[in-house]
């Protein structure tokens, strides 16, 4: 009996994941270390039974239709699945999985790292000598910022990663944790002491405003002028969720004018962000290149989980981590 065919869209997928699939399937791996262009995906997906893809791959209606009726399962090695046309998958009975949970702690750690770095002016401090800015041995207020101790942390989106951020900031001695989430109350967060507040109150009260929500019609550009205007002048804004939740022109203005004190973001629009983008010129903004889950062990686990889902889908069994399908 012939083996099922699986297309993997990037050669640098951790081999632990690739090997699991190769043990049972005929595998084609896109041979270039870059996001597969849509034309290539359309050509290569024809006749495959499973697709192992990434956030960067446009798995839209054209691609899914080009595959043919034998396509049974799509597994994305990411938590996000906004690049997959779920309506089309549902219509064609294609199972779709993602990789939640395995990267939550890693993303939460990075989020706390950004909170500390932005709050305490780490970037400017770490380049001060190189930039010739360390003039006096010690100065009373130079590079003074705010740490987590006794601060109010506002988490927008109290899902797994939000809760994991909360768990990590509590031992720093934060004063309180506020949260907003469309689904509330969120018991595990409230059991740890988080208080649910409306979005406006969260913006007004928090020293650290942390965006941890999904990108949706409701959250697109939700961090805009109106939101930044409501924040404290000393507020620090953090985003490790999706670039699309922030109006970047408004973020630029808020930071440039001192409306808020600092920000750190791991996600932008577009990605990659061009190095001459105006956001890059801001001294009070730290930008990292969508690496919050970039830990070797985490990426291996993500690849393995995506591979396990491919194999389950090919056997017609329930997936380990299916994405919620549209109603």
For residue 7, which phi and psi values (nearest 5 degrees)?
-105, 130
Q: Render 23-65 in DSSP notation, one character per residue.
A: TTSEEEE--SSSPPPHHHHHHHHTT-SEEEE-TTS-B-HHHHH
Considering the complex, state which of residue 148 and residue 210 has its C-beta at the smaller distance from ligand DGY.
210
Rounded to 10 deg, the angle between the 104-119 and 160-169 helix axes is 50
Residue 102 C-beta: closest distance to ligand DGY, Å: 9
Span from 18-26, 75-83, 122-130, 277-285 in contact with ligand DGY (CB under 6 A): 75-83
Least distance (Å) between residue 89 CB and ligand DGY = 18
Neighbours of 145 (CB within 10 A): 18
Distance CA 91, CA 6 (A): 21
Q: Taking contact as CB under 6 A, which single stretch among the options 41-49, 62-70, 78-86, 123-131 is the one that binds ligand DGY? A: 78-86
Core vs surface per residue 92-129: b (16+ CB within 10 A) or e: eebbbbbbbebbbbbbbbbbbbbbbbbbbbbbbeeeee
Binds ligand DGY by CB under 6 A, chosen from 58, 80, 243, 244: 80
Q: How many residues does the chain have?
A: 327
Instruction: Report whether 6 contacts 50 (CB < 8 A).
Output: yes
Q: Which is nearer to ligand DGY, 111 or 284 (CB)?
A: 111
Shortest separation between residue 301's beta carbon and ligand DGY, angstroms? 11
Q: Output the smallest distance, CB 84 to ligand DGY, in A.
A: 12
219 token code pair: 């959250």
Task: Answer yes or no: 290 catalytic.
Answer: yes
**Closest distance between ligand DGY and the C-beta of residue 109, in Å?**
13
Non-local CB neighbours of 141 within 8 Å, separated by 6+ positions:
none
Does residue 79 belong to the site contacting ligand DGY (CB under 6 A)?
yes
Figure out which of the listed residues 78, 97, 151, 206 binds ligand DGY, where binding follows CB under 6 A: 78
Instruction: Name the one residue in this structure whose structure tokens are 């190769």.
Output: 22
Q: Which stretch binds ligand DGY (CB under 6 A): 65-73, 77-85, 128-136, 279-287?
A: 77-85
Crossing angle between the packed helical segments 15-22 and 296-314, to the nearest 10 degrees = 20
Instruction: Select from 97, 103, 211, 239 the one that contacts ligand DGY (CB under 6 A).
Output: 103
Which range touches ligand DGY (CB under 6 A), out of 15-23, 76-84, 117-125, 155-163? 76-84
Whose Cβ is closer to ligand DGY: residue 49's or residue 211's?
211
| C-beta closer to ligand DGY: residue 96 or 146 | 96
Closest contact distance (angstroms) between CB of 143 and ligand DGY is 31
Would you state the structure tokens that stand for residue 255, as one six-digit string? Answer: 């930071």
Would you list the DSSP string of 71-100?
Answer: --EEEESSS--TTB-HHHHHHTT-EEE---
Site string for ligand DGY, 291-310 (x = CB under 6 A): --x-----------------
- Positions annotated as catalytic residues are 290
Residues lying near ligand DGY in the complex (CB under 6 A): 55, 78-80, 103, 293
């Amino acid at each position: 009996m012939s083996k099922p065919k699986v297309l993997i869209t990037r050669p640098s997928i951790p081999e632990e994941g690739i090997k699991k699939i190769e043990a049972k399937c005929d595998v084609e791996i896109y041979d270039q270390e870059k996001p597969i262009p849509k034309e290539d995906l359309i050509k290569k997906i024809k006749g495959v039974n499973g697709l192992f893809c990434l956030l960067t791959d446009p798995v839209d209606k054209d691609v899914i239709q080009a595959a043919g009726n034998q396509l049974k399962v799509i597994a994305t090695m990411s938590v996000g699945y906004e690049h997959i046309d779920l309506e089309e998958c549902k219509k064609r009975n294609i199972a779709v999985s993602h990789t939640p949970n395995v990267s939550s702690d890693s993303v939460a750690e990075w989020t706390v790292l950004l909170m500390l770095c932005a709050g305490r002016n780490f970037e400017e401090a770490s380049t001060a000598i190189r930039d010739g800015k360390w003039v006096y041995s010690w100065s009373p207020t130079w590079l003074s910022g705010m740490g987590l101790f006794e601060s109010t942390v506002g988490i927008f989106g109290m899902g797994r990663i939000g809760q994991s951020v909360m768990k990590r900031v509590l031992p720093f001695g934060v004063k309180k944790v506020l949260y907003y989430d469309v689904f509330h109350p969120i018991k595990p967060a409230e059991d740890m002491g988080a208080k649910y507040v409306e979005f406006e109150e969260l913006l007004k009260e928090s020293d650290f405003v942390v965006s941890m929500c999904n990108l949706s019609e409701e959250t697109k550009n939700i961090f805009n002028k109106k939101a930044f205007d409501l924040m404290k002048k000393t507020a620090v804004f953090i985003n490790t969720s999706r670039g699309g939740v922030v109006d970047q022109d408004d973020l630029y203005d808020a930071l440039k004018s001192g409306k808020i004190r600092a920000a750190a973001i791991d996600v932008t629009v577009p990605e990659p962000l061009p190095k001459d983008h105006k956001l890059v010129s801001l001294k009070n903004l730290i930008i990292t290149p969508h690496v919050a889950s970039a830990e070797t062990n985490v990426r291996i686990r993500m690849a393995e989980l995506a591979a396990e889902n491919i194999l389950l889908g090919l056997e017609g069994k329930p997936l380990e981590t299916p994405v919620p399908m549209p109603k």
